[in-house]
Amino acid sequence: MTAWVYVLGKVIRGHGVASGQAKDPRFPEGTLQMQVPMFAAQGLCLDAYFPGTINVSIHPKHYTVRQARHRFRQVKWAENAPPEDFSFFDCRVVLDTAQRLPGLIYYPHPETKPEHFQDPATLEVLAPFIRGLSYGMTLGLELDPKQLTLE
């Protein structure tokens, strides 16, 4: 049984490329939609999650990667992008004291990522669609300390 670690964060605006909101012609449906089949082929089904990330700033805290639930190396997901490494970590999105949604932290490894870098205090969360979610909103996350630690 997991002894979750709770952290409070703020929903912030991301680059918009994962969801396709950035309108980048290289990734018209979003990078995540292009990557999902590659992850599925290696055993990770993301069908239960909204096809975009929730960027949650946990500043002034930051996280350290320990042991990913899933790790994929050298994923060639787009013709116009180099292969990247990706990790996924278990989390739960805490909406209130009675409602927790299963989620994943989506982590494109910065050492293989060509652009759209995140601040080290920002977690990219995959979750089912959450009605009423907005920028500036406070959101609770529960993390598995065997996978990610907070500092």
- CB count within 10 Å of CB 31 equals 25
**Residue 142: closest CA among 103, 113, 114, 112:** 103
Q: Which residue has the tokens 């993301």?
A: 46
Count of domains in the chain? 1
What pLDDT is attached to residue 20?
47
Q: pLDDT tens track of the chain, all 151 residues?
A: 679 999 999 999 875 566 545 555 566 566 788 899 999 999 999 999 998 899 999 999 999 999 999 999 999 988 877 899 999 999 999 988 788 999 999 999 988 865 555 688 999 999 999 999 999 999 999 999 999 999 8
Residue 148 DSSP one-character state: E
How many other C-beta atoms can be found within 10 angstroms of the C-beta atom of residue 54? 24
Write out the residue range of the structural domain in which residue 67 sits: 5-150
Q: Which amino acid appears at position 99 of this protein?
A: Q
Structure confidence at residue 14 (pLDDT): 72
Token pair recorded at residue 94: 């805490």
CATH number for 104: 2.40.30.30
Chain Cα centroid distance, residue 96:
20
